[in-house]
Amino acid sequence: MNYKKLKKRSYEILEKGAPDDTWSRRVDFFIIFLIFLNILAVILESVRSLKEEYQLIFDFIELFSICIFSIEYVFRIWSITEKEEYSKPISGRLKYLFSFFSIIDLLAIVPAYIPLLATVDSRVIRGIRLVRLFRILKLSRYNRAFGLIRNVIRSKKEELVISLFAVLTLLVVASSLMYFIENKAQPEAFSSIPATMWWGVATLTTVGYGDVYPVTVLGKFMAGIMAILGVGLFALPAGILANGFGDNLDSKNQSKVCKHCGKNIDE
């Protein structure tokens, strides 16, 4: 009886998250705080002077986070059978293991266990340290922003794919032409089409670092035409995203009612 109650309570706190459940909100808040602390730690640990001075604190945060996230992971798998969808003890839990959120939770803890299981060189360890950054994805469970952006991308999928295709085509064509024009004058910077694409991206996104730019008259003329024409095309995905963003929030806030029958259109 006690065991069943605990499992049900775990499920309520971790998964269900009823708005009036104080403990659920406290646990949520604690985990969100821990995620932000982790991101901050990863960022600050990359500064050599801070890393050397506060090594102990960073190590403690890491150890503490691994414990909490591991416990959280185990409790989630244990209690998930409370949910109707995953109610079968074994097949239900397996199904949950391969769900989107569960995989993220696993990825948040697994890399930390690798050095315990095998000898790894220093570069791998640095990689593992960086992978911790993806604990930021654990926020997607709590944050509306991720869901919204996913919705926007999904609803504008076709437009985005088409404009991305157009952008890449333009990039390839512009870079190839520029390679042909500038290669002789600047054999270093415009050494090949892939190399020239670095110029193409910097120009067409209007970043313009200034490390590569055409120097011949023809090259400058082509670059000018491409900048004027191409900038519009590269701004397309941004415009589409902005529109999609607006649509998604609008459709949530507004009650669209049919003028003829008075019923809600979206239902």
42 binds a second copy (CB under 8 A): yes
Between the alpha carbon of residue 53 and those of residues 20, 47, 58, 59, 210, the distances in Å are 43, 10, 10, 12, 38
CB of 157 to a second copy, least distance (A): 11
Residue 16 or 126: the one with the smaller Cβ distance to a second copy is: 126
Residues 49 to 88: which contact a second copy by CB under 8 A? none
* Residues from 201 through 230 that contact a second copy (CB under 8 A): 201-203, 205-211, 213, 220, 223-224, 227-229
Query: Which residues are CB-contacts of 80 (< 8 A; sequence separation ≥ 6)?
Result: 11, 15, 86, 92, 93, 96
Q: Does 125 bind a second copy (CB under 8 A)?
A: no
3-state secondary structure of 131: helix
Smallest gap from Cβ 69 to a second copy, in A, equals 19
Choose the binding region for a second copy from 24-32, 73-81, 85-93, 143-151 (rule: CB under 8 A): 143-151
Is the separation of the CB atoms in 152 and 244 below 8 Å? yes
Nearest Cα neighbor of 40 from 54, 21, 29 is 54
Instruction: Give 70 or 216: the residue with its C-beta nearer to a second copy.
Output: 216
Among 43, 63, 94, 125, binds a second copy (CB under 8 A): 43
Residue 173 found at the interface with a second copy (CB under 8 A)? yes
Report, in Å, the least distance between residue 34 CB and a second copy: 16
